[in-house]
């Protein structure tokens, strides 16, 4: 199979439609995602951090800033460095994007699944992870993003149709269900006097709106995405 054949096959997958899960399948995918969030949070937190830092990077580029690189650490923290004006709308957008990024990605995946594009969800995930890999500036980050990308690629290329659809649904649920938890953790850290360089506190310095208000906004966005995303995932079943 030539490279052209591979790309044509992938494009057919992305442009085509796949049968949605039935009601039972949607429930199973949601339960699997919920169990992962509850029982394997340290592992899931890496997925959330990938989405969080990736969202910072995309927001930086879209707002006209120059992306210098992204680092992911074994404690599930991350750092995105961009160059540009230290104040202004671009910096506000960049700082805001992180905590809402996983939820918005989950919402986008849910929308595509409601249109019966399960393979589009998987291949877009592979593409985004590949692009993110180019911006990673530390070994652990390369490892985490590389493993995630290879796992999604393996399902997209070799998985059965039923497995691909189930994984796409579970991935969407995972992002939607996991997104609010870091927001809660952030506020708990802030109440204990920590996280003074967090996104919320950076936004407070940039906008003069209290950090707690930004945390509430993060929470509202993630919960709204969960509600709407859940409706989209349930609707086509």
- In sign, the C-alpha dihedral spanning 224, 173, 108, 140 is positive
Global pTM value:
0.94
pLDDT tens, residue by residue, 154-181:
999 999 999 999 999 999 999 999 999 9
Name which of 164, 171, 156, 163 is nearest 123 in CA terms: 156
Give the CA-trace dihedral at 110, 37, 46, 233, to 10 degrees: 0
pLDDT tens, residue by residue, 24-49:
999 999 999 999 999 999 999 999 99
pLDDT value, residue 5: 73
């Amino acid at each position: 199979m030539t490279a052209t054949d591979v790309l044509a096959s992938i494009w057919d997958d992305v442009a085509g439609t796949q049968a949605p899960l039935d009601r039972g399948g949607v429930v199973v995918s949601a339960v699997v995602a919920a169990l992962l969030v509850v029982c394997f949070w340290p592992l899931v937190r890496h997925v959330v951090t990938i989405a969080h830092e990736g969202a910072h990077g995309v927001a930086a580029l879209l707002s006209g800033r120059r992306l210098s690189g992204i680092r992911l650490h074994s404690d599930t923290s991350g750092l995105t460095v961009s160059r540009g004006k230290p104040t202004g709308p671009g910096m506000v957008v960049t700082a805001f994007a992180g905590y809402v990024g996983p939820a918005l990605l989950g919402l986008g995946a849910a929308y595509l699944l409601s249109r019966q594009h399960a393979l589009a969800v998987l291949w877009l995930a592979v593409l985004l992870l590949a692009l993110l890999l180019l911006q990673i500036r530390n070994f652990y980050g390369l490892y985490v993003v590389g493993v995630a990308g290879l796992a999604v690629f393996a399902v997209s290329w070799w998985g059965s149709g039923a497995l691909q659809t189930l994984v796409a649904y579970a991935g969407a649920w995972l992002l939607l269900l996991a997104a609010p938890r870091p927001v809660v953790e952030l506020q708990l850290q802030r109440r204990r006097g920590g996280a003074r360089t967090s996104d919320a506190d950076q936004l407070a310095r940039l906008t003069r709106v209290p950090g707690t208000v930004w945390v509430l906004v993060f929470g509202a966005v993630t919960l709204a995405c969960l509600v709407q995303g859940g409706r989209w995932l349930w609707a086509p079943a």
